[in-house]
């Protein structure tokens, strides 16, 4: 099984105008409202085949491969589209090779029609048989039989409360996606009851799923697998550098993992410098220099652990910071951070990370 993070949470496979602007459009909107990153084609197009073997665009194929869940909406128009059938083959191929989930939704279609290719599905397959090779047709038929064995949802046309049906699917997606939007790394004694506490509350109020470890741990404790997993599955890590951050082996272990994910998985990292200078963090001077010297005495100057911590701190040099006015209210800084998070979801340009001083600090 692959442990690489997915760029999409959900891939929506659908065909036909019968669901695009009604059910599937509503499902897409409901998924997005819960900040579930979903791939959805806005327009129904069946272009010329991209290759002799598939009618899937490279971008769609990439989205299928990156997604954690593929939701296949079987409506009366699905089997009429060679692109949809090629998507289904690619989806099942990814399912066999990775940990991707596949959820069929039968919208006004009986599951037996998909499994046996009778009724509307049988007629659609009959109409296209002369246009495509026997090998390709066999792949489609096998994929339809295979997907019909998966657990899914059935919606009978004319049933009441379609929104409740959609809600069940969205709730299932939320439960099946073990990821966070934001991981918050901080030194509790410095910021738990000030900046970090208010920042956590503001981010959570906007509907983001945020991980904030709220346990007081003594230095030397090993970072847990749960915490490592939360860092790996987060889209963004916000690191609040404060005066005592560098003294905490726990915080430095988090930072080492965060920079590893930044380098290997392109995870976004936003540093916040709270009452400390960026250069003191990067160059390990002042409190950060004293902290690293203390760690060297404890673990050894050439210990792999200390070298990893120093490297992680140095890499912050490559991340831009934003100098905020020293007389700016803290809540205004928090609002700007949250606004940038919201802009990420909207696909807007994100400015540089943040440099914050409290009202008594000096820039």
Query: How many C-beta neighbours within 10 Å does residue 197 have?
Result: 15
| Arithmetic mean of pLDDT, 320-340 | 74
Report residue 355's pLDDT band, with 50, 70 and 90 as the boundaries: low
Domains of the chain, start order: 10-176 (3.40.50.10140), 180-356 (3.40.50.10140)
Decide the pairing of beta strands 210-212 and 234-241.
Answer: unpaired
* Among 161-165, 295-299, 315-319, the range of highest mean pLDDT: 295-299
- Does the pLDDT of residue 173 top 70, yes or no? yes
Per-residue pLDDT tens digits for 226-255: 888 889 888 899 999 999 999 999 999 999
The residues, ordered by sequence, that sit 6+ positions from 73 with a Cβ below 8 Å of its Cβ are 12, 13, 14, 19, 23, 24, 27, 105, 107
Strand locations in the chain (E): 10-14, 38-39, 69-74, 101-107, 153-155, 180-185, 210-212, 234-241, 268-274, 354-356
23 vs 359 pLDDT, higher one: 23
- Higher-confidence position of 83 and 285: 285
**Cβ contact 64:94 at 8 Å:** yes
Confidence of residue 167 (pLDDT cuts 50, 70, 90): very high
The Cα 89–Cα 15 span in angstroms is 14
Supply the pLDDT for residue 293.
96
200-218 tens-digit pLDDT: 999 988 888 899 886 544 4
Cα–Cα distance between 79 and 267 in angstroms, integer? 38
**Residue of 246 and 175 predicted with greater confidence:** 246
Kindly state the average pLDDT of the residues 31-55.
70
pLDDT recorded at residue 235: 85
25 contact partners, CB below 8 Å, separation of at least 6? 19
- Residue 166 pLDDT exceeds 90: yes
* Average pLDDT of the chain, as a whole number: 83
Highest-pLDDT range among 146-160, 251-265, 346-360:
251-265
CA 55 centroid distance within chain: 27
Q: Provide φ and ψ at 248, rounded to 5°.
A: -85, 115
C-alpha torsion angle, residues 108, 111, 113, 117 (rounded to 10): 130
The helix/strand/coil state of 287 is helix
Distance from chain centroid for Cα 41:
19
What is the structure's pLDDT at 352?
43
Mean pLDDT, range 332-338, rounded to an integer = 87
- Top pLDDT among 296 and 130 is at 296
Whether residue 26 is predicted with pLDDT greater than 50 in this model: the reply is: yes
pLDDT at 289: 96
Angle at 340 between CA 338 and CA 343, to 5 degrees: 115
For residues 348 and 343, what is the distance between their CA atoms, to the nearest angstrom? Answer: 5
Cα-based distances in Å from 196 to 61, 189, 233, 242, 315? 40, 11, 21, 11, 22
Q: Which of 104-118, 255-269, 342-356 has the lowest mean pLDDT?
A: 342-356
Q: What pLDDT is recorded for position 363? A: 40
Q: How confident is the model at residue 157 (pLDDT cuts 50, 70, 90)?
A: confident
- pLDDT above 90 coverage of the chain, percent: 43
Rounded CA-CA distance 138/113 in Å is 16
Residue 3: how many CB atoms within 10 A of its CB?
A: 9
Rounded Cα gap, residues 256 and 79, in angstroms: 49
Tell me what the mean pLDDT of segment 144-150 comes to.
93
Q: For strand 354-356 and strand 268-274, is the pairing parallel, antiparallel, or unpaired?
A: parallel
């Amino acid at each position: 099984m692959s442990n690489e993070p997915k760029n999409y949470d959900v891939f929506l496979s659908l065909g036909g105008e019968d669901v695009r602007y009604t059910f599937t459009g509503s499902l897409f909107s409901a998924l997005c409202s819960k900040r579930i990153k979903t791939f959805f084609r806005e327009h129904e197009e069946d272009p010329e085949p991209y290759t002799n073997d598939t009618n899937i665009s490279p971008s769609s194929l990439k989205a299928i491969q990156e997604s954690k869940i593929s939701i296949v909406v079987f409506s009366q128009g699905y089997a009429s589209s060679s692109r949809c059938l090629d998507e289904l083959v690619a989806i099942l191929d990814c399912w066999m090779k990775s940990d991707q989930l596949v959820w069929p939704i039968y919208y006004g279609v009986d599951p037996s029609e998909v499994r046996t290719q009778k009724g509307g599905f049988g007629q659609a397959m009959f109409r296209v048989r002369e246009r495509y090779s026997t090998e390709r047709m066999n792949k489609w038929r096998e994929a339809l039989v295979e997907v019909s064995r998966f657990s899914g949802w059935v919606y009978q046309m004319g049933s009441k409360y379609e929104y409740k049906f959609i809600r069940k699917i969205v709730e299932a997606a939320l439960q099946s996606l073990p990821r966070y939007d934001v991981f918050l790394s901080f030194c509790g004694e410095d910021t738990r009851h000030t900046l970090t506490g208010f920042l956590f509350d503001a981010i959570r109020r906007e509907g983001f799923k945020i991980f904030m470890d709220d346990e007081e741990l003594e230095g030397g404790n090993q970072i847990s697998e749960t915490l490592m997993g939360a860092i790996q599955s987060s889209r963004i890590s916000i690191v609040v550098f404060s005066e005592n951050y560098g003294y905490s082996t726990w915080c430095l272990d988090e930072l080492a993992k965060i920079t590893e994910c930044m380098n290997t998985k392109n995870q976004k990292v936003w540093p916040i410098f709270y009452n400390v200078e960026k250069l003191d963090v990067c160059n390990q001077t002042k409190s950060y220099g004293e902290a690293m010297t203390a760690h060297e005495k404890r673990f050894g100057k050439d210990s792999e652990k200390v070298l990893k911590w120093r490297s992680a701190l140095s890499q912050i040099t490559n991340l831009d910071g934003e100098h905020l006015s020293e007389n700016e209210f803290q809540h205004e800084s928090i609002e700007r951070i949250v606004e940038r998070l919201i802009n990420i979801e909207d696909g807007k340009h994100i400015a540089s990370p943040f440099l914050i001083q409290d009202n008594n600090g000096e820039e």
